[in-house]
Amino acid sequence: MPEMNFSSFLPEFEGGYNSSETEKVWRAQSAEFREFWITRVMGTDSDLISDEDCDKVIKILDSNGKGNNKHTEAIARAMVSQGAWRRLFNELHKNRKLGSAVNKILTEQDLKLKAQYIDDLYGMEEAQKIYLTGKSGNTISAFIAAFDPFVDLSIISLKDKKLLLDYLKSPYIKEIDKETIGSKIVNSNIEVFKAIKESGVTGDARKLSQYCYFAPVRELWRGEFTSPHEPSASDEAKEFVVTVASDEVDDQLDEIEVRESIKIQGLLAKIGELMGFDIWLPNPDRARVAKVWQPKDPRTLLTTLPLSYDKATQSTIGLIDVIWIKNKRSIARAFEVEHTTSIYSGILRMADLVALQPDIKIKMHIVAPSDRQEKFSTEIRRPVFSYMTNGRLSDMCTFISYDDVRHIAELEHLSYTKDGILENFEVSAERSDD
């Protein structure tokens, strides 16, 4: 069998790629994004941008956006929750300085100036609080690609661009880490585009991006492999994608951050209590959490788990950081707060629970600072968690950031709010053809 190179799958890809239809879709979607940006985000009114208006554009930016499915087209999988997108747009609308900084990036044609404006944005403290300035550049790159999807690649992650540059043997791979974040984002778009074309694949930025994430091509450069996965009624022939993670060890964090994780535990307990759930906390954590949260009704904090599981399962459940229990007899949601410990340990505890009780139906969440989201995505997609008897753990367990927990805790009328609202803030690690 001949060795496969980057362009080997082009005939197969083009057989299912409708260039004219794709161009039509993206001209319309880019125009919709630009109109939203000009009239709503940059508008001079002081009104909040509605969730409905935000969601129409989030659907364009993020393949995980509300309403998207395998048949819709979005820029990429941006690793930003629905709720965080909504807050981001409203903050850009409210904060004129911040909105103008992003607007300069989107409208600037001089690439050196565009890179400088991105650097300026990354230097703004308020930008760091709303997912605008992550180290992979996902959010700002998604904006740039939506503004002109035929010129700017929909490959929004710097990590993926570096993998592509390395696979395609671009000389720029030796220079990228010497550059500022702005130069990396701008120049990597140019150099990846160039390297792809030199490999024999031609077309506009949208086509090239789609080709890179075409399943057999993606395997070549991203170090992933696929395996058959038994489809369910709601999981029609979904591709089973696994990443082999490195043995990278999480950095240990200081005592201030230890206290921060306890605050988040307390907030999760408070949110659950307001939504009408009973709360379980591990015995070793109770005294520390009590300094930041006290239940209004002492009976809300359970002293024993009212669950009919075997001893091994009870022991595993008892160590989970926060559990919301419905009607004193069933688990509604389970949360592992990961700050000073390895992300892997929290995921492993969830996997242990699923392995002990394969039929258990619990919504599980890893809660951590937003800069650990990529680590979560990598770890939960390890082979050990992807070949589980009852499916992939990444289909059962999602990520929620500290910032989103704080935001949820500040929402009005939580006592009248159902726990389904968390779905606006969770992010799945499952890969799509971004």
**pLDDT tens-digit profile of 310-333?**
888 888 889 999 999 998 888 999
- Could you give the percent of the chain with pLDDT greater than 90? 65
**pLDDT value for 358:** 77
Is the confidence at residue 401, as pLDDT, over 60? yes
**pLDDT value for 312:** 85
Distance of CA 203 to the CA centre of its chain: 28
Judge whether 164 and 217 are in contact, CB under 8 Å: no
- H or E element that contains 29: helix 19-36
- Amino acid letter, 76: A
Q: List, for residues 352-375, the tens digit of each pLDDT value.
A: 888 888 777 889 999 999 888 888
CA-based radius of gyration for the chain: 23
Q: Hey, what are 36's tokens?
A: 């939203």
CA 261/CA 137 separation, integer angstroms: 26
Is the confidence at residue 227, as pLDDT, over 90? no
Q: List, for residues 179-206, the tens digit of each pLDDT value.
A: 999 999 999 999 999 999 999 999 999 9
CA 7/CA 162 separation, integer angstroms: 18
**pLDDT value for 236:** 41
- Paired with 62 in beta bridges are 76
Q: Hey, what are 415's tokens?
A: 């006592």
Is the confidence at residue 434, as pLDDT, over 50? no
Residues 104-127 have a mean pLDDT of: 96
What's the mean per-residue pLDDT of the chain?
88
- Local structure of residue 431 (DSSP, 8 states): -
Quickly state the pLDDT bin for 150 (edges 50, 70, 90).
Answer: very high
Is the confidence at residue 269, as pLDDT, over 90? yes
**pLDDT value for 306:** 83
Q: List, for residues 15-35, the tens digit of each pLDDT value.
A: 999 999 999 999 999 999 999
**pLDDT value for 328:** 81
Residues 80-89 have a mean pLDDT of: 93
Write the secondary structure of 162-230 as one string of H (helix), E (strand) and C (coil): HHHHHHCCCHHHHCHHHCCHHHHHHHHHHHHHHHHHHCCCCCCHHHHHHHHCCHHHHHHHHCEEEECCC
**Going by C-beta distance under 8 Å and a sequence separation of 6 or more, which residues neighbour residue 69?**
none
CA 430/CA 381 separation, integer angstroms: 8
CA 267/CA 113 separation, integer angstroms: 42
**pLDDT value for 192:** 98
Judge whether 402 and 376 are in contact, CB under 8 Å: no
Q: Hey, what are 413's tokens?
A: 């009328």
